[in-house]
């Protein structure tokens, strides 16, 4: 399985500011995914980070609020912009398993626990 490192593991931020979350994988993968887990709820896919092209966002999520970078095949960042308390969540990075990221399963980082005050 892939080893995924997310930074920071947690943060407390002031409303109106932005936070950039980093995701580093120990192997090259074609796609990386960002999920949000709001308090007491399940995971919702925010976007798919594609290397060399713009991220693909799911319904309800927009690039201005959640800009994503994917400079290479092992790294991605998610920025939560102009934060409000409603953005308080756990944000998780995910990558496909298997050789070259072509497997059927997904592996997850430890998550970034964000609290907006």
Partner 1 sequence: AQSVTQLGSHVSVSEGALVLLRCNYSSSVPPYLFWYVQYPNQGLQLLLKYTSAATLVKGINGFEAEFKKSETSFHLTKPSAHMSDAAEYFCAVSEGTPGGGNKLTFGTGTQLKVEL
Query: In which element (H, E) is residue 57 found?
Result: strand 56-57
HEC secondary structure over 52-74: CCCCEECCCCCCCCCCEEEEECC
**Under rule CB under 8 A, which residues in 76-105 are in contact with partner 1?**
92, 94-98, 101-105
> Is 28 one of the binding residues for partner 1 (CB under 8 A)?
no
Q: 44 or 84, CB closer to partner 1?
A: 44
> Is 41 one of the binding residues for partner 1 (CB under 8 A)?
yes
Name the CA dihedral angle for 55, 37, 4, 7, rounded to a multiple of 10 degrees.
90
Handedness of CA 49, 70, 37, 97 (dihedral sign): positive
Residue 100 CB, nearest approach to partner 1 (Å): 8
Residue indicated by tokens 């995914």:
33
Q: 66 or 107, CB closer to partner 1?
A: 107
Residue 3 CB, nearest approach to partner 1 (Å): 12
Q: 80 or 109, CB closer to partner 1?
A: 109
Q: What is the DSSP letter of 33?
A: E
Residues that bind partner 1 (CB under 8 A): 1, 4, 30-31, 33, 41-45, 48, 92, 94-98, 101-111, 113
């Amino acid at each position: 399985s892939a080893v995924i490192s997310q930074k920071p593991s947690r943060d407390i931020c002031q409303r109106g500011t932005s936070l950039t979350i980093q995701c580093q994988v120990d192997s090259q993968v074609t796609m990386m995914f960002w999920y949000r887990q709001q308090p007491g709820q399940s995971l919702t896919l925010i976007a798919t980070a594609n290397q060399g092209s713009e991220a693909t966002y799911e319904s309800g999520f927009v690039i201005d609020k959640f800009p994503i970078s994917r400079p290479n095949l092992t790294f991605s960042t998610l920025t939560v912009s102009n934060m409000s308390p409603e953005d308080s969540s756990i944000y998780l990075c995910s990558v496909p398993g298997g050789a070259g990221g072509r497997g059927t399963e997904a592996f997850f980082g430890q998550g970034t626990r964000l609290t907006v005050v």
